[in-house]
Amino acid sequence: MPALLLLIPVLIALAALVWWKLRPAARQNHTDTPQKLGQEQMPPPAPQPPTILPAKRPTVPLAGMDGQAVAPLPAPVAHSAVVLPPDTPPELAAFHWMLERDLSSARHKALMTVIGGIPRPPLSMQKLLEPDFFTRADPAELSELLMGEPLIAARVLAIVNSPLYGLSQPVTSIEPAVTLLGMDTVRNVCLQYMLAQAFRPELASAQRSFDAIWKASATASELCLYLGKELGLPEPGVLATKVVLAFVGHLAAASLLPSNGVEEWLMQDRLRRAKLEQEVIGLAAGEVASLVLRLWELPTTLVEDVSVISRVLVTPASAIDDAQVPLLALGYLCIGVGEKLALGQLTSIKAYDLDADLGSDTFHLRSYLGHPALAQLRAVLASSELHTALHQLQVSGSMRH
């Protein structure tokens, strides 16, 4: 027994020595920045090869808001064999676009927990986005739907009576307002209002950034609708709606990022934003959008169509089905131009030069622009009719949520 008592001080000294040796590493682990959502303590991953968008399906089904399993998205276009152009900017070539399946279980669980806390839009939003609603619905049916959402109906009436339309007599009922504005514009106005109710900044200091996102969303959708019609692309109204829904990723990212960094994040180009989003949130905003829209139980094909627009950032046109190239190009382009206008990086659409937009975030987009369906894009962008239409929208204030 005395011998054991003599060993106790020795054991204590050894334990203290081990703690002292490990102290710097422990201190370093507690001071890593930025804070990552659900980040596990593990060695840094090995560098990823610059392959784009692996084609595997997500292996873990998500839980819906009612606790039911949500079907996984269809596999994206296989990109594992894509060879990047030799002149790809180094920062773009080195960037690895993350998919849901790439997340660790801890980060995935943490991300889905916070996304699950986003208020769900009303059921009328799902009705608006049913695949056959706008192929069979008429102004009377849409008006009936809006009457169940009085705040949205009031917003539609406010827009149709704005100075933009210069009506001699005010419109006081929904059906003539729908007829005057057009079904596509009304649908997008409704979606923007519903999303505004789902995403509200917690701090007043973040309101300016959220306002910029709303303005960018409205500008981008109107620009997409106008250009799509002028270029004769199929279903331009549906494409404009997908552009509105793409901004769900922006809104979710703005809600998840540290509030004191949202404004700086928003001013970055799309490649730098995606890097920051993946570092802090785990996924880029475009992939976050697909998770949110799936939880809201929107049609699976619609969710996938929205998510692939953001992947133009990292996907050359050679990896895309030819019929989809002009649609993805127009959606991605309009989102970028809408952001620039909303953030004051462009004074007007007249100041935008497509051929001078040579950032890393438009590198792959330029491979899409040679598609024959986009041959008249530059001429339409330069048209005085487009300049006048967007200017009137901005001056009237009708694009504000």
User: Would you state the pLDDT for residue 380?
Assistant: 95
As a whole number of angstroms, the distance between CA 216 and CA 254 comes to 14
Q: Over the Cα atoms of the chain, what is R_g?
A: 25
pLDDT digits (tens, 9 = 90+) for 336-357: 999 999 999 998 899 999 999 9
Do residues 53 and 101 touch, judged by C-beta distance below 8 A? no
Average pLDDT on 375-379 reads 96
The model's pLDDT over 90-134, given as tens digits with 9 standing for 90+, comes to: 999 999 999 999 999 999 999 999 998 888 877 777 778 877 776
The whole-number average pLDDT for the span 157-173 is 76
For residue 308, what pLDDT is reported?
A: 95
Give the pLDDT band (50/70/90) at residue 268. very high
* Fold (topology level) of 86-117+202-401: Hypothetical protein af1432 (1.10.3210)
Tokens matching residue 330: 């127009």
Q: How buried is residue 308: exposed, middle or buried, by Cβ count under 10 Å (0-12/13-18/19+)?
A: buried
| Domain boundaries defined on the chain | 86-117+202-401, 121-198
pLDDT, tens only, 297-327 = 888 888 999 999 999 999 999 999 999 999 9
Percent pLDDT > 70 in the chain is 75
Mean pLDDT of all residues in the chain?
A: 78
The arithmetic mean of pLDDT across residues 39-66, rounded, is: 36
pLDDT at 247: 94
| Triad 58, 62, 66: Cα angle to 5° | 160
For 155-174, give the secondary structure using H, E and C.
HHHHHHCCCCCCCCCCCCCH
Omega into 76 within 30° of 0, i.e. cis? no
Mean pLDDT of 138-145: 82
Residue 264 has pLDDT above 60, yes or no: yes
What is the amino acid identity at position 380? Answer: V
The pTM assigned to this predicted structure is: 0.75
Burial label for 307, CB within 10 Å (0-12, 13-18, 19+), is buried
Report pLDDT digits (tens) over 202-237.
Answer: 666 678 888 899 889 989 998 999 999 999 999 898
